[in-house]
């Protein structure tokens, strides 16, 4: 490969990498939509009763994709939680000044999927040892955290954390935080791995997420 061709390839890869959670061009400044977190959502009688898990694992694009094909999951929605500002925008979240974390709100059928399993998927898709953020994304807005919605979830989350700490033989820095209001992220963030697969995969590869997950969890690593 010539020097010119090699340079062009590098620049193209860099451009794709920069289109990440914290560097997305054309970001919306419209306020996010508020949804108060709850232990369950009553659906139609034919769908039964669903429950909710609220989880922060760095870039919400990647955490959302981890739940999309899980049996029992009704939806996984990207958003923000745990901060002070009302109706936050992506631009505000990106500044790291609001206290929010990028989160995914997982709505699932408890007759098909347990909260324990939801948490197990979560642990295997994060780096629980990174206090500065997640993978290439650093800052409080990219922290890892579990937001239990009631006492039952709180107890399960604490037990799950201890069990996975024991599995790896090291304490986690991931926090179990108080229940929080969920703010739905702007629509262009939803299902980003589906609507923008090239940009998503370039970001994920460049961020080193899968390499780090494999180093921590081995064959059990999420993807």
Q: Looking at residue 139, what is its pLDDT?
A: 95
For residue 32, what pLDDT band results from cuts at 50, 70 and 90? low
Q: Looking at residue 31, what is its pLDDT?
A: 59
- The arithmetic mean of pLDDT across residues 163-183, rounded, is 95
Q: What is the pTM of this model?
A: 0.81
- pLDDT reading at 184 higher than 70: yes
> Could you confirm whether domain 30-206 is CATH 3.20.20.80?
no
Active site residues: 59
Q: Looking at residue 48, what is its pLDDT?
A: 41
Separation of alpha carbons 179 and 74, rounded Å: 21
- pLDDT reading at 206 higher than 70: yes
Write a three-state SS string for the chain. Answer: CCHHHHHHHHHHHHHHHHCCCCCCCCCCCCCCEEEECCCEEECCCCCCEEEEEEEEECCHHHHHHHHCCCCCEEEEEEEEECCCCCCCCHHHHHCCCCCCEEEEEEEECCCCCCHHHHHHHHHCCCCCCCCCEECCEECHHHCEEEECCCHHHHHHHHHHHHHHHHHHCCCCCCEECCCCEEEECCHHHCCHHHHCHHHHHHHHHHHCHHHHHHHHHHHHCCC
Q: Looking at residue 94, what is its pLDDT?
A: 87
Q: What does the pLDDT look like over 132-152, one tens digit per residue?
A: 999 999 999 999 999 998 899
Q: What does the pLDDT look like over 84-118, one tens digit per residue?
A: 888 888 888 888 889 999 999 999 999 999 999 99
CB count within 10 Å of CB 165 equals 15
Q: Looking at residue 5, what is its pLDDT?
A: 39
- The arithmetic mean of pLDDT across residues 152-177, rounded, is 97
Q: Looking at residue 33, what is its pLDDT?
A: 56
């Amino acid at each position: 490969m010539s020097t010119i061709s090699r340079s062009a390839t590098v620049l193209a890869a860099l451009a794709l990498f920069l289109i990440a959670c914290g560097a997305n061009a054309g970001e919306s400044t419209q306020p996010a939509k508020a949804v108060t977190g709850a232990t369950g959502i009553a659906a139609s009688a034919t769908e039964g009763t669903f429950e909710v898990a609220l989880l922060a694992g760095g870039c919400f694009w990647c955490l959302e994709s981890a739940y999309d094909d899980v049996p029992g999951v009704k939806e996984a929605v990207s958003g923000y939680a745990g901060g002070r500002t009302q109706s936050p925008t992506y631009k505000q979240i990106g500044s790291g000044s609001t206290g929010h974390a990028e989160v995914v709100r997982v709505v699932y059928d408890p007759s098909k999927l347990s909260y324990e399993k939801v948490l197990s998927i979560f642990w295997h898709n994060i780096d629980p040892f990174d206090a500065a953020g997640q993978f290439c994304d650093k800052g409080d807005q990219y922290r890892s955290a579990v937001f239990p919605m009631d006492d039952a979830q709180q107890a399960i989350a604490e037990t799950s954390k201890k069990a996975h700490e024991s599995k790896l033989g090291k304490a986690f820095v991931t926090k179990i935080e108080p229940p929080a209001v969920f703010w739905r992220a702007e629509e262009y963030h939803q299902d980003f791995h589906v609507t923008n697969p090239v940009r998503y995969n370039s970001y994920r590869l460049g961020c080193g997420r899968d390499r780090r997950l494999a180093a921590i969890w081995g064959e059990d690593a999420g993807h």
